[in-house]
Amino acid sequence: MKQVVSPEQAAFNAELKACLDRRFQLLSGCPLMDSLKQMILEYRCGERQ
Amino acid sequence: MIPINLDDLDELPALKPGVMKILHAINQDDVDIAGIAKCIQQDIGLTARILRVANSSYYGFSNQVSSVKDACILLGKHIVRNLALSSAVINHLTSSGDAVLDSQALWRHGLGTAAVSIVLAKQIGIDEGSAFTCGLLHDLGRVVLAVHFPEHFTATLDYQNNHHCLTQEAEITVLGIDHCTLGEELAKKWNFPNHICRVIGSHHQPEHDHQNSLPCLIHVADIISHGLDPSDRGYNLIPPVDEEVVKQLGLEWSQLGGLFKEMEETHRSLSTLLETSGT
């Protein structure tokens, strides 16, 4: 079942993703760094919920 | 370009003689705990910090520790050395210099890296005390720039913002030297143990040395700490990880996310233990 995300949570997730995309942009395409970025995103979004 | 020469470091104040004496005494093969305790007692700040650490829930000793000698025996010489060194450097660099521009943020990153280093060290079986000290001090060169060369430091930040590049690239272009070389030279002048000097100098490009994994550990911990820093709103680029280093450490990269909570909790504990106020 798909989890319902509040508008506030969705805005937080989008802002965080944009922030991490900027900080990791030089390393885009490096599998280890892409994976680290994804783990941080999931951790922070989960923590906020 | 506003170059910094390594000779400029000679003008910086030296660490307190008492601290150098403690480090020298602890590095001897035949350690005299009573003598070390005497040296520590002459430094009120360090005495308070050692007792606070020995009585903290982090170490969980059952009885209250009230003497420096007992604290040294319970904590052991490596922890005392790490505390003496980190305490001395924090006090020294927060009480001197013309500006504190960004130095708090740099210390926060140092503590964050120390916390990540401790958690990773546990995972792969490296001495946690050394990991802590090296993590805390790895960016010594940046802290020295911020505190003692604020104009140079600001110029590198401006260059970095304008060119959207990594810190090292900005430093080499603007100063002709990067924080790794600067920090390593200062650490040598201050007679830090060799393994710490090496980590400070090589944490962005560690050698793949199977005999000494500390530089590799700090390389990875630095990157994770940058990524996890919740106060960074996205303008500092994350430095690249060396894949060979990850292989050498034998880290399960995909499992790192499961360690983030422990890393942040350790960071909070360390912040309490090492806070500079009241010492």
What tokens were used for B74? 């319970």
Q: What is the largest CA-CA distance in chain A?
A: 36
Q: What is the pLDDT of residues B178-196, one digit of tens each?
A: 999 999 999 988 878 888 8
Chain B residue with CA closest to A39: the answer is: B257
CB < 8 Å to A48, chain B? none
Ordered DSSP codes for B198-250: HHHHHSSS----TT--HHHHHHHHHHHHHHH-TT--S-SPPPPP-HHHHHHHT
Q: What would the pLDDT profile of B253-265 be if each residue is shown by its tens digit?
A: 999 999 999 999 9
Whole-angstrom Cα distance, residue B78 to residue B188?
A: 19
ipTM: 0.89
Distance CA B160, CA B81 (A): 36
| Residue A2 contacts B where some CB pair is shorter than 8 Å | no
**How much is the pTM?**
0.85
- Cα–Cα distances (Å) from B242 to A27, B168, B182, B247, B262, in that order, read 11, 16, 22, 9, 24
The encoded tokens of residue B141 equal 């060169």
Q: In this structure, how many other beta carbons lie within 10 angstroms of the beta carbon of residue B41?
A: 15
Report the range out of B43-47, B80-84, B147-151, B179-183 with the highest average pLDDT. Answer: B179-183
Contact partners, residue B269, CB within 8 Å, separation at least 6: B56, B58, B115
A35 touches chain B (CB under 8 A): yes
Question: How many Å apart are CA A30 and CA A17, to the nearest integer?
Answer: 17
Shortest distance between the Cα of A6 and any Cα of chain B, in A, equals 21
A34–chain B nearest CA distance, Å: 11
Q: Is the pLDDT of residue B277 over 50?
A: no
Token pair for B59: 């170490």
B175 neighbors B156 (Cβ within 8 angstroms) = yes
Asked whether the predicted pLDDT for residue B103 surpasses 80, the reply is: no
Q: Hey, is the C-beta of A17 within 8 angstroms of any chain B C-beta?
A: no
